[in-house]
Structure 1
Amino acid sequence: MNHATEVVLTEDGSFTLLNRTLGEHYHSIHGAVQESRHVFLEAGYRYICNKFRDISILEVGFGTGLNALLTLAASVDAGVNTRYYGLEPFPPDWSVIEKINYCNLGGLEGFTDDFRKMHQAVPGEEILLRENFSFCLSRSRLEDTYPGWGKYNLVYFDAFSPETAPGLWEPEIFRKLRRSMDQGGVLVTYCAKGRVRRTLQDTGFSTERLPGPPGKWEMLRATAQEL
């Protein structure tokens, strides 16, 4: 096991990881799956499915792969063509991820092989997991990556907090993300701090505060405006 991480049970019965070095959990201790479903699936993926029929997702902070797994299951259920590109420079060891075992949860039992393939994929190589779902995982840092112009219509911004990873919450990062997105695309994040909201507004997004998952008052959804 990677000694920098520890498996932690959260309040909804699902597991997350604690990064001991940073002193921060990968998901909410009030419920890992609850948080991912609320912030990324409901406010992000299901919302954007009403605007686009072909979805291209960039995830900043792939981490345990929970958001990708839930999105894969949702895409199969909805029949929506989805391309998923995750960024994670420091992926947890597969031996650690196996202990979390998200595929034992209701509705995810049929995705064990897909989840393993996500974590064991050759970095930078796009693979087809289902007829309507392709996946690619990069071990690059967002700071060192140019995601492409107008390539994505949904961004899952699931980086560690501004206190822990301040460099990922700077204006130049959100400018880069805006350039990588279609007009009308959305970015969702668990963080609703006023500074983050103002930075998004200053870098080409309109923002809305939404009710947060258990344990958080609010979250943010930002819509890419015309450049």
Structure 2
Amino acid sequence: MEQKVQIESTADGSHTLFVPSLNEHYHSVNGAKQESEHIYINTGLLHSTKEKLNLLEIGFGTGLNAYLTLLITEQTTKDINYISLELYPLSIDIVKGLNYVENSDSKCKSLYLKLHESEWNCKNEITPSFYLTKIQTDFSQLDSPINSDVLFDVIYFDAFAPEKQSEMWSQEIFNYLYSKTNKGGILTTYCAKGVVRRMLQQAGYCVERLAGPPGKREILRAVRF
């Protein structure tokens, strides 16, 4: 199943997608790329001191988070096993209309397309330092086929907002994620609502409120100690 979406520009010039059925955007209209960099790369991935890590993303979406993460492995010594869950994969036509690699070199353009063209529900080598497994699943049912032995060092929680997709923001979800978080593991999310912070704390995480990207006052970072 595929959601109907519309490509729109955000304040930093990068694209996002608008979902009319939800009246919701995939990213902040104040800047899609800078939002992803701030919340998931700088606050999450680069806050981890691990060189080899397992990373779980809730919501593959446009692949922007995955692409920015892949670039980090090209620029550093980090080696990442990236697992992403998505119920509504985008068509390749929509992907090719997004401008994230518009001014990039041919290698970056090729890598971005490779993320989207790689096979679903199996592990793909994108580069020697970045392996991607995209799983098409409804994570709210908590029956996604994640390897039971894998514990995650970084989690990007990037589901649609609670008021749009409430089933993704439950105590059961956060309890499960805590059980799959490695000691010292980090979860970041754009949503700083008090109810979300309390659910993360009840699950067992130590939670910080941090300054958000442009247009957003705060975000959350949760750590399992």
TM-score by length of 2: 0.94
- Residue of structure 1 equivalent to 2:94: 96
**1:119 is aligned to 2:119:** no
Aligned partners of 1:39 and 1:188 also within 8 Å = yes
User: For residues 91 and 18 of structure 1, what CA distance do their matches in structure 2 show?
Assistant: 14
Corresponding letter in the other structure for 2:52: D
- Residue of structure 2 equivalent to 1:209: 209
Superposition RMSD in Å: 1.5
- Residue of structure 2 equivalent to 1:138: 135
Tell which deviates more after alignment, 134-143 or 12-21.
Answer: 134-143
User: For residues 44 and 6 of structure 2, what CA distance do their matches in structure 1 show?
Assistant: 28
Tell which deviates more after alignment, 140-149 or 121-130.
Answer: 140-149
Deviations along 1:194-215, whole A, 9 cap, x unmatched?
0000000000101000000000
Deviations along 1:13-38, whole A, 9 cap, x unmatched?
10000011111000000000010000
User: For residues 149 and 200 of structure 1, what CA distance do their matches in structure 2 show?
Assistant: 22
User: For residues 118 and 76 of structure 1, what CA distance do their matches in structure 2 show?
Assistant: 15
User: For residues 189 and 64 of structure 2, what CA distance do their matches in structure 1 show?
Assistant: 15
User: For residues 109 and 117 of structure 1, what CA distance do their matches in structure 2 show?
Assistant: 12
- Residue of structure 2 equivalent to 1:220: 220
User: For residues 108 and 206 of structure 2, what CA distance do their matches in structure 1 show?
Assistant: 35
Gaps of 5+ in 1: none
- Residue of structure 2 equivalent to 1:36: 36
Aligned partners of 1:60 and 1:156 also within 8 Å = yes
User: For residues 158 and 136 of structure 2, what CA distance do their matches in structure 1 show?
Assistant: 15
User: For residues 194 and 111 of structure 1, what CA distance do their matches in structure 2 show?
Assistant: 38
Aligned partners of 2:121 and 2:134 also within 8 Å = yes
Aligned partners of 1:103 and 1:110 also within 8 Å = no
Gaps of 5+ in 2: none
Q: Report how far residue 39 of structure 1 moved.
A: 0.2
TM-score by length of 1: 0.93
- Residue of structure 1 equivalent to 2:172: 172
Task: Name the SS of the counterpart of 2:162 in structure 1.
Answer: coil
Deviations along 1:104-160, whole A, 9 cap, x unmatched?
245x75322222122122211111111111111010121232533552110000000
User: For residues 103 and 209 of structure 2, what CA distance do their matches in structure 1 show?
Assistant: 29
Aligned partners of 2:3 and 2:88 also within 8 Å = no
User: For residues 10 and 53 of structure 1, what CA distance do their matches in structure 2 show?
Assistant: 33
Residue-pair matches, total: 221
User: For residues 206 and 199 of structure 1, what CA distance do their matches in structure 2 show?
Assistant: 11
Deviations along 1:39-72, whole A, 9 cap, x unmatched?
0000011111x2x121110000110000000000
Task: Name the SS of the counterpart of 1:91 in structure 2.
Answer: coil
User: For residues 14 and 130 of structure 2, what CA distance do their matches in structure 1 show?
Assistant: 25
Corresponding letter in the other structure for 2:130: F
